[in-house]
Structures are given as structure tokens and as C-alpha cells.
């Protein structure tokens, strides 16, 4: 490809990427809301002729422990784990305790069995996972290539398309 052709493909890929990102974000937001409201966890995506393109999954938000009362948390750690104090809870120990609480699903110290004051469990927002299969990817690449909008790897290899 010559300089103008390469520039055209670069411009087209930028415009396509930006448009796809914008459209995809709007579709994901609307789809996520509808799936959450209707209780649907998985949608199979099919094209013309019942071609299977893959699945969209509405995954529950990630659970994680978070501190809501810094003072209570710090006082508790200072009383039980004074070696972990450096004018505040050491970041590595904070992450250790929060990680354990997240894995347990409860803000409880595994060593003492005590509920860790100032720590709560939070539920993140649901999010979508879009999983196109090889057929969907191949068809999209072919459609874009047929429009002259993809070089299908020739730019990386430095070969003419």
C-alpha cells in the first residue's frame, strides 16, 4: 500500500473505533439495564441464518471490602496488631485484611474471629461481558476488509495488501 492508502486505512480505523466505542457504550448501558431489570443473565447472539456469534453475559458486580470508619478500623488494628502501625495501618496490611474479608464475604479477622470495625462489604454494579466467537470475528473482519477498511495484518508485516 502507498502512503495515501495507509493514511486512509489509519483514518478509517480511528473513525470506526471511535464510533464503535460510542455506540457500544450506549448499547451496553441499555442492554445491561434491560438484562438487570428482567433478570436475564445470558443472551445468545445470532446473525442471519441463525449463525452463532457468541454470548453476552450480565455478571454480578464484584464484592469487595471497604473501610467506612477509618478511625474505628485504625483503633482496632492498633489494639490487636500494633506491629502493623506506622502512624496509620500499613497499606500492605490494610490490603491483606480487606482481601481476606472480600474472599470470606464478611469483614471478619480470620485469626481472631472478630468483626473488623469500620469495614463493610460492598456490591459493585453489574457489568456485561461480551464474548464474540471466531465466526463473529471472521465475519466482521471480512466485512471491513471488503470495504477496504482493514489491511488484515499487512501493515504490521510491511507487506502490500
The count of structural domains within the chain is 2
Q: Which residues of the chain carry a pLDDT beneath 50?
A: 152-161
118 shares its domain with 73: yes
CA distance 134 to 51: 11
What's residue 149's pLDDT? 56
Report yes or no on 161 lying in a domain.
no
Report yes or no on 159 lying in a domain.
no
13 shares its domain with 56: yes
78 shares its domain with 118: yes
Quickly count: other Cβ atoms within 10 Å of residue 150's Cβ.
20
Report yes or no on 146 lying in a domain.
yes
Report yes or no on 160 lying in a domain.
no
Domain membership of residue 77 as a residue range: 63-123
Residue spans of beta strands (DSSP E) within 3-154: 42-46, 52-59, 63-67, 119-123, 127-132
Amino acid at each position: 500500500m502507498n502512503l495515501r492508502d495507509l493514511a486512509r486505512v489509519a483514518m478509517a480505523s480511528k473513525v470506526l473505533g471511535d464510533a464503535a466505542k460510542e455506540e457500544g457504550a450506549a448499547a451496553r448501558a441499555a442492554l445491561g439495564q434491560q438484562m438487570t431489570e428482567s433478570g436475564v443473565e445470558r443472551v445468545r447472539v445470532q446473525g442471519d441464518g441463525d449463525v452463532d456469534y457468541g454470548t453476552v453475559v450480565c455478571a454480578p458486580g464484584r464484592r469487595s471490602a471497604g473501610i467506612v470508619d477509618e478511625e474505628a478500623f485504625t483503633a482496632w488494628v492498633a489494639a490487636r496488631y500494633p506491629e502493623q502501625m506506622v502512624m496509620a495501618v500499613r497499606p500492605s496490611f490494610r490490603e491483606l485484611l480487606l482481601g481476606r474479608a472480600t474472599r470470606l464475604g464478611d469483614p471478619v479477622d480470620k485469626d481472631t474471629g472478630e468483626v473488623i470495625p469500620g469495614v463493610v462489604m460492598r456490591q459493585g454494579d453489574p457489568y456485561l461481558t461480551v464474548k464474540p466467537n471466531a465466526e463473529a470475528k471472521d465475519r466482521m473482519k471480512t466485512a471491513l476488509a471488503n470495504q477496504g477498511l482493514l489491511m488484515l495484518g499487512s501493515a504490521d508485516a510491511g507487506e502490500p495488501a
